[in-house]
Structure 1
Amino acid sequence: MNKYILIIDHIKNLSKEEKLKTGQKLPSIRSLADEFQCSTLTVVRAYRELEQEHFIYSVPKSGYYLVSKHKKGEVLDKSCIYFSTVLPDISIFSYDEIHHCVHQAMERDRMQLYSYGEVQGLPSLLQTLRKHLQDYQIFCKPSQIVVTSGVQQAVSILANLQFPNGKNTILLENPTYDRMIKNLQLYSVKTIGIDRNFSGIDLDRLEEIFQKEDIKFFYMVPRFHDPTGSTYSMDQKKEILNLAQKYDVYIVEDDYFPDLDTNSRNDPLYSLDNTDRVIYLKTFSKILLPDLRIAAVVLPEILVSQFLKYKQCTDIRTSILRQGALDIYISNGMFKRSVTHLRNIYKDRMDYLKNICSGFNSEVLDVNIPHTGFFLSMKSSKPIDYDLMLSKFKKDNIIIKDLRESYLEKSQEVDLLKISICKTDNNQIKDGILKIYNYFLNQRIPPAKRNKDYVT
């Protein structure tokens, strides 16, 4: 084995055994050359490779120092089945590619790192996003795109923005993404809800709300709705847009999972809009790294200037380093390759789920399984005692999300269950899903009277 590799392993072992600590100076080049009976050039080569790995760093005229021990990230308990998390499965993501893009961005955009940059976003990323969004049938000018630190920031700004219609109430699907409810409540924004189920919403009820209430915008998740998993049909989308135009209501379309959709004809509302009524939101956090915290907002031109003023007051601008990394990741084709890989994996998991759930009695659990995505939902025949259910599943090492936070009214009875398959393999999926089904079967039918619906 080459001696420079032995030196690299030696330094890493010193760190692992905590004989070297973060920030501590490393042995001198001369002392290591003597210890390993090699030239100083060999030691320099080893130190340079460790520096390229960001394991150590150099201080001119001082020496080399340890950056960190490279601690492992959070390790999930392998005995548990995690049906609660929507965080990506790190085992199927190409961390090395994203790592490479971050370092490329450090070099390419180094001068901009020393300035506040553009409020709207990194100019090269805006151009890249304009082309990228066309894959989703979003055709817009770069001047209409604003990069934000996630969708939450975008909605916070929109909630406080004065819209041309002069209205103040925000309409939400009920249930909806729980963080969106908390976000709007934090700003004391007046919100009302419209019930959404596996089939969508009641369009007559929507018209009644638009007609009677002071609706500024309707925040909606048309595709792979969180938490029902349902998707609006094109006819429903067209009718919602017609009603919004009729009653002067804006639509905020949170399209967080277009990348996983296998239906090429499932176009967003934005593509149907010819009156600048729809604001389109696309996050890159869920499909890549949660910590990326980057979203693209496509705005009607009339709202751009005011939106940028609010954004500048909240964070000046979104991280240039993260924007640069995303720009490189998309423009070099890495994003498209990664998405194709993920789409196939999650489609296979959903197909596997459909096979397992095909024999379920819908009077026990009505199951809604989208053709792809991260999760499915189940509707119980009666309200769910969430405290009892969560306690029981926890004993069985099954972790489920509490959906009571996804409803506007905390006292509302909940009959919905959300199952995420982000971090589960097929064996865990089968084991967990069957235990969940049998739990609800026992709630409906006492054990002594179980029939063929009981699944093993």
Structure 2
Amino acid sequence: MTQNIWKEVVINPQEKTPLYKQISNQIELLVHDGQLKPGFRLPSERTMAKLLNVSRMTITLANEEMKMKGIVRSHQGSGTFILRGTRLKEKEVQLDNPVDFAYPTGEINHGMDEIMSLGQDQSLINLGGVGAAPEVHPGIEFSQCFAEHLRRNPVLLQLPSPTQGYEPLRLEMINWLKKVGVTAELNEIMMVSGAMQGLDLISRLFLKPGDFVIMEEPGFLAAADAFTATGAKILRITLDEEGIRLDSLENMLMQFPVKFIYVNPTFQNPTGITMSLERRKQLLHLAKKYGVFIVEDDPFSLLYYSEKPDPPIQTLGSDHVIYIQSFSKYLYPELRVAVLVASEGIIRHLSKIKQRVDLHSNNLTQIALHAYITGGLLETHIQKLRYGYAQRLKEVQLRVKASSFLHCQIPKGGVFLWCRIPKEVPAERLLEVAVKKGLTFVPGNWMSGVGLYDHHIRLAFTHPSHEGLKKGLDLISDAISAYKAYQF
């Protein structure tokens, strides 16, 4: 590539945005526009400084900024290379009256937007988003239960809804949580509009600019957005077969002002890995030693397909754990209800913040969920899910075993497959081919905070029909073959 590309990087010393951020932002756009390809080596810092007429330190800062975003990666002695960062669905819309917004929307992972958008296209086989399989979808049964409950108690919709949630549901949660071993009193329980609201409230309560959060790499991309929106920074730790690695965790806790460690220990999103009991105990020990909280996100633990998984970390030491269990993976994504468990003091503070955000809880869905649980229907439904999804997983194993392109970690529960694809096939490019063939999935690098896993994909195996699942897995191999043969 000639030096002409760098003429498109125009910086303005009069702008409020620091020079290094101007450079970082413009190079990021060149990457997303396809003008800078993955693997392209950037000029040396000295050369880049001359090309852009800035100091070498400015280039160093720009490179560090791009590393944090996952746009570039440096190899000592080799240089700095373009990775494939999170995809920008659309360019930022300019305002008529420019405003210096405090909320960093431009740094949000726009891969989530694309996952949602592709998931709405019913012409595609959806292996990207999560949803209940057609044969076990609870929609009609759930709505009938809800309608009957309201027919008997119409006054419920006229009553104000407490910020901490519909009280009969909170009381029912005391018994429900015992299914995973969690013991909690009523004043330690609040209902939130999905796990994401819980994470947002926790972020508002605990985090300020300059704080740090530790989370898994790869991990839940929407959680990272909630944390960084406060101005906090994320430290990422990779996983092994027992979960988050602890060999470097203590060093991080010693060096950085970490407020909490966010983990998804059971059937982790996206890898499907389950943290071992010993690792859970060690993680809790370090959290207590350094006085930090663990935020435990547990959306899948009742979806086990062989033996029951180890109990949540919360059961080992509740004073240092904030526990969240969502119901959307058991029912359907649009059901925005989750239960959050913490000490009474934390619940009170979170409730004050929640009151400012939405004042009243969503009584409608909480009433419906309460009726569904107290009628014994949710427990029966989850048993159906375990059987149905276990059968699908067997089909997945057969298809993967027959494929020369897909190498997947087969989980013992949950809804995700973490698969490795050939090194010469970038996951985002493969998605472009797959969509044309009628299929969607999540590229692995969208689940990374540093632009790694470009040769991995996340597959959700619970949403399509049986036939759709089989066809979808075959289409992935077809798409890989097409890419390798340059038929796109």
TM range (shorter): 0.7 to 0.9
* Residues 1:374 and 2:415 aligned together: yes
Structure 2 CA distance for partners of 1:413 and 1:92, relative to 1, 3 Å: closer
- Distance apart, 1:400 and its partner CA: 1.9
Counterparts of 1:79-118 in structure 2 under 5 Å? 80-107=124-151, 109-118=153-162
Residue in 2 that maps onto 1:211: 254
Shift of 1:197: 5.1
Shift of 1:253: 0.6
Q: In 2, distance between residues paired with 1:128 and 1:203?
A: 36
Alpha carbons 1:383, 1:413 under 8 Å: kept: no
Q: Bigger CA drift: 86-95 or 128-137? A: 86-95
> Are 1:396 and 2:451 matched, yes or no?
no
Paired position in structure 1 for 2:459 = 419
Deviations 1:271-316 (A, max 9, x none): 122x511111011122113222110000122312111111111111
Structure 1 residue 201: deviation in Å?
Answer: 2.7
Residue type at the aligned position of 1:334: L
Corresponding residue SS for 2:418 = strand
Task: Please tell me whether residue 76 in structure 1 is matched to residue 119 in structure 2.
Answer: no
Between the aligned partners of 2:298 and 2:155, the Cα distance in structure 1 is 33
Deviations 1:400-440 (A, max 9, x none): 2234332223x445232111112334444334334434665
Amino acid at match of 1:332: G
Specify which of 220, 230, 251 is matched with residue 273 of structure 2.
230
1:313 corresponding residue in structure 2: 356
Contact 2:444 2:453 in 1 (8 A): no
Question: Residue 37 of structure 2 corresponds to which residue in structure 1?
Answer: none
291, 301, 306: which one pairs with 1:248? 291
2:310 paired with 1:266: yes
Structure 1 residues 205 and 383 mapped into 2: Cα distance closer, same or farther (>3 Å)? farther
Equivalence for 2:39: none
Matches of 1:158 and 1:82, distance apart in 2: 31
Deviation at 1:120, TM superposition (A): 1.1
245-254 or 381-390, which moves further after superposition?
381-390
The structure-2 alpha-carbon separation of the partners of 1:332 and 1:426, relative to structure 1 and needing over 3 Å to count, comes to closer
- The answer to whether the 8 A contact 1:260-1:342 is kept is yes
Q: Which amino acid aligns with 1:356?
A: R
CA distance in 2, matches of 1:117, 1:395: 46
Q: Return the alpha-carbon distance in structure 2 between the equivalents of residues 175 and 230 of structure 1.
A: 11
Contact persistence 2:442–2:458 (CA under 8 A): yes
Q: 1:337/1:183 Cα in 2 relative to 1: closer, same or farther (>3 Å)?
A: same
Cα offset for 1:227? 1.1
CA contact (8 A) 2:266 2:309 kept: no
Tell me what 2:232 maps to: 189
The aligned residue for residue 449 of structure 2 is 408
The alpha-carbon deviation at position 358 of structure 1 amounts to 3.1
| Rounded Cα–Cα distance in structure 1 between residues aligned with 2:223 and 2:182 | 23
Q: CA deviation at 1:369?
A: 1.1
Distance 1:220 1:98 in 2: 31
- Secondary structure of the residue aligned to 2:319 is coil
Deviations 1:199-240 (A, max 9, x none): 533211122212222111111111111111111111211111
Query: Which residue identity does 1:270 align to in structure 2?
Result: Q
Q: Deviations over 1:309-355 (max 9, x none)?
A: 11111111211121111111001101011111111000111122123
Identify the residue that residue 11 of structure 1 maps to in structure 2. Answer: none
Give the match's secondary structure for 1:118.
coil
Change (3 A) 1:136 1:167: farther
2:473 aligned with 1:429: no
Q: Does 1:122 align with 2:151?
A: no
- Against the structure 1 CA distance between its residues 108 and 248, is the aligned structure 2 distance closer, same or farther, given a 3 Å change threshold? farther
3-state secondary structure, aligned to 2:173: helix
Query: Residue in 2 aligned with 1:41?
Result: none
Count, aligned residues: 366
Q: Which runs of 5+ in 1 are unaligned?
A: 1-73, 448-456
Give the whole-Å Cα distance in 2 for the aligned partners of 1:337 and 1:161: 37
Task: List aligned pairs for 1:267-416, cutoff 5 A.
Answer: 267-273=311-317, 276-359=319-402, 365-380=406-421, 382=423, 384-409=425-450, 411-412=451-452, 414-416=454-456
Aligned partner letter, 2:352: K
Q: Per-residue CA shift, 1:222-263, capped at 9, x if unaligned?
A: 111111111111121111111111111111111001221242
**Change in CA separation of 1:322 and 1:426 when aligned onto 2, cut-off 3 Å:** closer
The answer as to whether partners of 1:259 and 1:339 remain within 8 angstroms in 2 is yes
Give the whole-Å Cα distance in 2 for the aligned partners of 1:429 and 1:320.
35
8 Å CA contact 1:197, 1:228 repeated in 2 = no
Distance 1:114 1:271, change over 3 A: same
Shift of 1:110: 3.7
Q: Secondary structure at the match of 1:194?
A: strand
Superposed CA offset, 1:15-66 (max 9, x none) = xxxxxxxxxxxxxxxxxxxxxxxxxxxxxxxxxxxxxxxxxxxxxxxxxxxx
Q: State the alpha-carbon separation in 2 of the partners of residues 83 and 441 from structure 1.
A: 19
TM-score when normalising by structure 1: 0.73
Q: Rg: which structure is higher?
A: 1
TM-score (normalised: structure 2): 0.69
* Inter-partner Cα distance in structure 1 for 2:424 and 2:246: 25
The residue aligned with 2:195 is 151
Find the aligned partners of 2:344 and 2:121 in 1 and give their Cα distance.
45
- 1:392 Cα offset (Å): 2.0
Greater displacement, 290-299 / 352-361: 352-361
Shift of 1:89: 2.9
